[in-house]
Structure 1
């Protein structure tokens, strides 16, 4: 048994070592191909202005879960409570303080959005031009530039380590960058068929866009 555990540990070590030397594109394609669903935690900050004197917002944090294609629940718990949930056809945005739900058709809009990178289909290169972004902060970075004109994001950077995404930088056309850090990622958890079904909260105002 000890010999089996040692072999398993060695195999895991070699696998991680392989990922450590793999390019960001190789790591990300491997992650996409092997991950049909995942969940984890995130911290998000907004950065405005120049690199010399940037203004950084109060961090927002929460949890996420997704299943390809196009199903996800992105939950903000601090400093405010908000849920973005997609069931594959519609996107529901729920603001708990206002008790308000906005419903949007998911459609093709997901294709060139940041959500498509983690939550969309495997055909990323259809909507994004992918290239290596170099090493920074101990991560290998992948650069994704949307091909479509119908997106407010100019560039998306993804930082990977050991075959998992640990960070994203979303740069928009207004000089603002959303910086996300991921942790406690669990690949392919058991999810039920109703995991992404949104239930309208009692008494909530509903707006359809």
Structure 2
């Protein structure tokens, strides 16, 4: 099990952090919609923790044509530096970042792999989660015009080593409508979040990995 899966999952945590509540839009003055880039930066500045249920849909093109893969679970985030991903379907997996190391537990394989958090996340958009630095440190931000009834903002990673080519977030009627991630492997992933809580109080034990007896415990660095 490589840490590519960990990196991709960390990106999903970033996407969860970008869920903008309606109240941020409603607070603007006048009839014109506020700049999505400004809203994004303001929201991240005040984001300390987050929890949500998620559904992940990935489209892949290959020799057998276009294929669709779905997974679902729940995430928890505590900035800076800690997150927890619980995949329920199609198989159970647990990913925990405790501020120092990232652990990936695959129940089906009875295997845990772990690596230093700095090495696992370096060069990925997930750095935005574990750092208090401004969003512009890691991304080029630009509003998009598509004339499809949505307000769009695009985030392009500055790191040349990033697996992600771009993130695009679309809003309709002052609510998040579409969130897309395009990676260097030609995959397009859509994210749907429900039961979102922004800045909830989270127990520290959520971000502590407890090794069980048996199975493989693989250190990747």
Q: TM-score, normalised by structure 1?
A: 0.79
Aligned to 1:195, what secondary structure does the other structure show?
helix
Partner of 2:55: 43
Deviation at 1:46, TM superposition (A): 1.1
Q: Distance in 1 between matches of 2:175 and 2:117?
A: 26
**Structure-to-structure mapping, 1:183-198, within 5 angstroms:** 183-198=194-209
- Count, aligned residues: 195
The superposition leaves residues 73-114 of structure 1 with CA deviations (integer Å, 9 ceiling, x where unpaired) of 111101111112101111111101111111011116535424
Q: Distance in 2 between matches of 1:66 and 1:109?
A: 17
1:141 and 2:184 equivalent?
no
Partner of 1:100: 111
- For structure 1, the 5+ residue unaligned runs are 1-11
Deviation at 1:162, TM superposition (A): 8.5
Aligned to 1:194, what secondary structure does the other structure show?
helix
Q: Distance in 1 between matches of 2:75 and 2:23?
A: 29
Aligned to 1:184, what secondary structure does the other structure show?
strand
- Aligned pair partner of 2:179 in 168, 178, 183: 168
Q: Is the Cα–Cα contact under 8 Å of residues 170 and 178 in structure 1 kept in the other structure?
A: yes
Q: Is the Cα–Cα contact under 8 Å of residues 41 and 64 in structure 1 kept in the other structure?
A: yes
Larger radius of gyration: 1
1:57 and 2:93 equivalent?
no
Q: Distance in 2 between matches of 1:201 and 1:164?
A: 42
- For structure 2, the 5+ residue unaligned runs are 1-20
Partner of 2:37: 25
Q: TM-score, normalised by structure 2?
A: 0.75
Deviation at 1:167, TM superposition (A): 4.8
